[in-house]
């Protein structure tokens, strides 16, 4: 299966802790408005750590209208008709690193600590494995993202690095950046 086929065909229903049922599926071109609304429900202090200005409608529409599956495999978590979580497997740049992916993730606060992030991480790793990646990296800010770090570690991710002061918050305070990794391939198939 090609990387594009992997991303375009991904869809599964998940029952969360507490019994809520959500759907995790690939990002579609028609998701622009839903994705914009989703990011407006992410607190400003969390959006600050994201790599792009997700409050800019042009950025979000660019993401949905021009999905480059050779670069990123985006997924969304849906409850009813609303996006409640978003994540992507992103191919690292350069031929020497292209077999390793990074994952990025965001979940609206009301759905945090209910298993949404864990299920998105699981889905991203599944998509990355199907797309032929050998491993996945996940960078998180230790302060404020400790629940995501714990969820990733419970899935088998291991800490492979810490960069003291690797992130600066909007007030200028430094925070440690934690890098976690998980091998895929045969290891992931057993998981």
SS3 96: coil
User: Is residue 186 pLDDT above 70, yes or no?
Assistant: no
CA distance 138 to 158: 10
CA distance 44 to 184: 33
CA distance 161 to 91: 19
User: Is residue 16 pLDDT above 90, yes or no?
Assistant: yes
pLDDT single digits (tens) 145-160: 888 898 899 989 999 9
- Do the beta carbons of residue 141 and residue 49 sit within 8 Å? yes
pLDDT single digits (tens) 83-114: 999 999 998 887 888 899 999 999 999 999 89
């Amino acid at each position: 299966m090609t990387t594009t086929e992997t991303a375009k065909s991904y869809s599964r229903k998940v029952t969360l802790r507490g019994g809520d049922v959500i759907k995790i599926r690939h990002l579609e071109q028609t998701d622009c408005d839903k994705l914009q609304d989703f990011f407006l429900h992410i607190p400003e202090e969390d959006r600050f750590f994201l790599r792009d200005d997700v409050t800019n409608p042009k950025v979000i529409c660019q993401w949905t209208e021009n999905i480059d599956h050779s670069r990123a495999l985006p997924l969304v978590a849906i409850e009813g008709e609303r996006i409640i979580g978003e994540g992507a497997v992103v191919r690292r740049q350069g031929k020497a690193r292209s077999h390793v992916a990074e994952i990025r993730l965001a979940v609206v606060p009301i759905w945090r600590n209910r298993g949404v992030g864990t299920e998105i991480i699981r889905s991203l790793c599944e998509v990355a494995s199907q797309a032929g990646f050998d491993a996945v990296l996940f960078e998180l800010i230790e302060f404020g993202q400790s629940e995501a770090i714990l969820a990733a570690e419970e899935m088998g991710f291991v800490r492979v690095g810490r960069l003291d002061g690797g992130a600066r918050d909007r007030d200028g305070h430094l925070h440690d950046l934690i890098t976690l990794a998980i091998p895929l391939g045969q290891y992931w198939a057993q998981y």
